[in-house]
Chain A
Amino acid sequence: MIGGGVQRLARRRWLWVAAAGGPLVVAIIAAVAAGGRAPAVGDDLRAGVASLLLLGGLAAALGLGGATLNRDADRGYLGLLAATGVGRPPIVVTTLAARLVALAALLAIWAVAAQVASTALGRGLDGPLIVHTLAMAELLALTLLAAAAASSVVGPAASAVAGAAVFVMAQAVANLKAAADDGVIGTAAGPVKALHAVFPRAVTSPMIADLQARDVAGAAAPQIEINRNLVTVPPAGAGTVLLTLAWFSVFALLAVAGFRRRTL
């Protein structure tokens, strides 16, 4: 069933446009970076690719996640699968898996293009950029799953909004925890730390933390100022990676629960 789902997604024109557009954007980023001052070439490439992963990746995750269950249920595809005796939980899990595979394939194409660009600029393979891509992949997969969970009960637009809200919240939790650690949010630090312990968090890579600290991350990670104090967001630890992975299961379970009594 995953194969059938991936096959259907592979025939969506917008995904091919995204798959082809990413390397094109990377080529432009690399060309612009190559024209800059020598020490900044690496930063420019990394910041540009990070922006692509943030904005393009978010659009792809919301596009894929927002229409995971609602559209195929309304069109009768999922009903046809259920009518063959496949249980609803396996239908949900395989549908989610197909969407995650599509997102991973898209990000992999963009990541390969970024490494080719780095090599072409004489910098060789860029390990920190690979780590950042993986960190973004985790956050984008979380966003996709949040939107997919909502898609079991509401339409594509509302589901995408729900996914975006989780993305923003995860980013906010990471940023506010950094602000709390820096002592710039006063008495709000307690509730923020409590939220940080429970909520999914954005996975900040060492590369993006470094670019942000030097204010060269561009749109990918502008510097954060709270109460006129600059906040330094540190790289995420293993705890953040694991907690966010655990939230994958929570959203998958929510999708299964929402889908349980949906008319197919």
Chain B
Amino acid sequence: MTEPIAVLAVEDLEVRYRGGPQAAVGGVSLTLEPGAGLLVSGDAGAGKTSLLRGVLGLTPATGTVRVGAEQIPGPAMRRCGYAPQSDRFAEGLSPREIVGLVARLRGAPAPDVDRSLDEAGIAEPLCDRPVPRDTDLPHVALACATVGDPDLLLLDQPADDAVTLAAVARARGRGGAVLVAVREAGPDLRAALGPAELRLVDGRPA
């Protein structure tokens, strides 16, 4: 019997910013099987955000990253749902517009937009209002990440609340993998993700 292909396989990832004296992230290898959760923890500046960005190819990185059998960056990124740390990306668009844009780019069906907004707890009147400048609207990033039910969910510093916990549980329940980066996780988030934890200290696994 063949083993199931890992949802995410990272080998020897190193993220080095231009001009930086040392690697922001180094020596990270990890594998997430279907239904797995992973907590990435560490102090501010430990490299949690850089790790997520490196996995997605959003920052210069070396090493190999595979989602399923395909290498990242590449078309397999459509199977990844990413929630950045801040909601400021949505400025000027309404939650429905930004989630709809992500859904189109990811090839997700249109009805998924309403479902993701609903599951993210964004109330109907707010869905169609443009996000004002410098305003964090909780869970817009989460709705962007979950639309289309991606195989891999990467959440950077999400709110530690029932909406996030439910999203993690849904993703794992349908066989997806979830990677959550937070400074310190509460007991509920730890329980939702399972026992696996990668603690970063100065960009390296502790």
Are B92 and A85 within 8 A (Cβ)? no
Are A79 and B89 within 8 A (Cβ)? yes
A82 contact from B56, B85, B97, Cβ within 8 A: B56
Are A80 and B92 within 8 A (Cβ)? no
Q: What CA separation (Å) do A82 and B74 show in the bound complex?
A: 10
Is A238 an interface residue when CB atoms closer than 8 A count as contact? no
B93 contact from A7, A82, A83, A84, Cβ within 8 A: A7
How many residue pairs link A and B with beta carbons under 8 A? The number is 78
Are B106 and A4 within 8 A (Cβ)? no
Q: What CA separation (Å) do A9 and B93 show in the bound complex?
A: 9
Are A263 and B105 within 8 A (Cβ)? no
Q: What CA separation (Å) do A11 and B60 show in the bound complex?
A: 32
Counting chain B residues whose Cβ lies within 8 A of the other chain, the interface size class is 20 to 34
Is A222 an interface residue when CB atoms closer than 8 A count as contact? no
Chain A nearest CB, measured from B171 CB (Å): 16
Are B75 and A85 within 8 A (Cβ)? yes
A75 contact from B58, B76, B86, B130, Cβ within 8 A: B86
* Given A4-B97, A261-B18: A82 in contact with B92 (beta carbons within 8 A): no
Are B82 and A80 within 8 A (Cβ)? yes
Are A83 and B92 within 8 A (Cβ)? no
Are B60 and A75 within 8 A (Cβ)? no
Task: Find the A residue at minimum CB distance from B108.
Answer: A84
* Given A4-B93, A80-B102: A11 in contact with B77 (beta carbons within 8 A): no
Point out residues on A near B: beta carbons under 8 Å. Answer: 1, 4, 7-9, 11-12, 72, 75-77, 79-86, 261, 263-264
